[in-house]
Amino acid sequence: METMEKKEVKVTTFANTKLNVVPLNWKEVYYTNCPLVSASNVDQELGWTQEEYKKLGVTYDYFRNKRENDWYPITYIT
């Protein structure tokens, strides 16, 4: 019977972690939605928030629609 070897626990640090960053653009706003009903979800679905940002010349989009976003699931179509 094999003996159980102690495995070292990996400690996450900045030195051994790859971080992804994108340039900040003050003309972009992204939203995410909690699956629960909230005032911000209703506002977003009715388009009121997007209308206000559009008046300011600001792009308003769902966070997971960005290609730079490496979260799962990805909602864009390639």
Euclidean distance between CA atoms 71 and 78, whole angstroms: 16
Q: Which residues contact 3 (CB under 8 A, 6 or more apart)?
A: none
Higher-scoring residue by pLDDT: 74, 47: 47
At residue 74 the predicted structure's pLDDT band, cuts being 50, 70 and 90, is very low
Tens-digit pLDDT profile for residues 28-44: 888 877 777 777 778 87
